[in-house]
Amino acid sequence: MGPVLILLGPPGAGKGTQARMLEEDFGLVQLSTGDLLRAAVAAGSEAGKKAKAVMEAGQLVSDDIVLAILKDRMAQPDVQKGIILDGFPRTAGQAAALDGLLAEAGARVTAVISLEVEDEAMVARVSGRYTCAACGEGYHDQFKQPATAGTCDKCGGTAFKRRADDTAETVRARLAAYHADTAPLIAFYESQSVLERVPAMGSIDGIRAMLADIVGRVSA
């Protein structure tokens, strides 16, 4: 298998955008735990059935089920060029379990890229974003407005929406929770000498170039 990358960063840090670019640049496959769970449930796999029962009961899906779904997905041929993990692991315990799963496949975590942000700048970034209600194209009050006010550049739609939880107060709370939850994970990967820190407040293309440099170096 090719490189196994983990992207860390709080909501709004640009993980999804950069993951899509890494897919384009290196042929990697982004594996989001939320997408994997939904796909496994829809496919009716053994792990998917277990996940469905747990979710219908209003409970959190266990690490064992997530790892089983991830294992099934990693057995498919399209991931052989490498993967980008988004949303898993979230704790040092999950990271250790992931190491075991990868070892079974003869692979290991190649690099963990932490997108470093400035909290107050992130509050402005996240609380200002909105999307086209028709096609989902993203916009921002400050950084990216439609060329024609009130009209989506992509599809011409005129209705827009904001996520209810993209308020300044909610963003600050999410950032505090992220720092608290992720600190042990960063320490775990730093001890394995696979952690790479990338300043993520610059331009999208600038961050893309830094990530490409890292991936090219660790994949050599």
Active site positions, annotated: 15, 90, 129, 162, 174
Q: In whole angstroms, what is the distance from residue 151 CA to residue 168 CA?
A: 25
Q: Please, how many CA atoms are within 13 Å of residue 191, restricted to the half-sphere of its CB?
A: 9
Q: Which of 9, 13, 6, 5 has its CA nearest to residue 202?
A: 13
Q: In whole angstroms, what is the distance from residue 91 CA to residue 86 CA?
A: 13
Q: Give the CA distances from residue 45 to residues 63, 70, 86, 118, in Å, rounded to whole numbers and listed in that order.
A: 17, 12, 21, 41
Q: Is 99 helix (H, G, I), strand (E, B) or coil?
A: helix
Q: Is 19 helix (H, G, I), strand (E, B) or coil?
A: helix
Six-digit token string for 152: 């989506």
